[in-house]
Amino acid sequence: MYKLWLIVLAGVLGMGAAFAQQHPMFQDADVALGEKLIADNKCEACHIRRVAGDGSAIYNPKGRINSPGALRGMVEYCNTELNLGFFPEDTHAVAAALNLRHYKFR
């Protein structure tokens, strides 16, 4: 019985940790879709031409993006500039994926 409770407790704590990694604003976002859109649209490829390494240094070097809303706004701006034709949920998903990996707003 004692062991069973430990397993349940570990599960609950684990779930808590997983949820804590994402900002509430992006809780409903499809991160897998976001990752796919980032790959399909060669976002990193262009960023790597600008900065060295894996391109992630392009994300928030100056702390300009200081909130999840600003991050989503930036993705929307790129969408418009690059004519990517994202739907609002695509923008949301891409911003969520970038947040998980780089910006880490919680």
Q: What residues line the site for ligand HEC (CB under 6 A)?
A: 38, 41-43, 46-47, 50, 58-60, 64-65, 74-75, 78, 82, 84, 94, 98
Q: Compute the distance between CA of residue 95 and CA of residue 2 in angstroms, rounded to an integer.
A: 42
State which residue, 16 or 63, has the beta carbon closest to ligand HEC: 63
Q: Three-state DSSP class for 25?
A: helix
Six-digit token string for 8 = 């349940």
Task: Name which of 50, 37, 23 is nearest 84 in CA terms.
Answer: 37
Rounded least distance, CB 89 to ligand HEC, Å? 14
Rounded least distance, CB 22 to ligand HEC, Å? 17
Half-sphere exposure in the Cβ direction for 17 (13 Å, CA)? 6
State which residue, 31 or 78, has the beta carbon closest to ligand HEC: 78
Q: Compute the distance between CA of residue 4 and CA of residue 12 in angstroms, rounded to an integer.
A: 13
State which residue, 14 or 71, has the beta carbon closest to ligand HEC: 71
Rounded least distance, CB 64 to ligand HEC, Å? 5
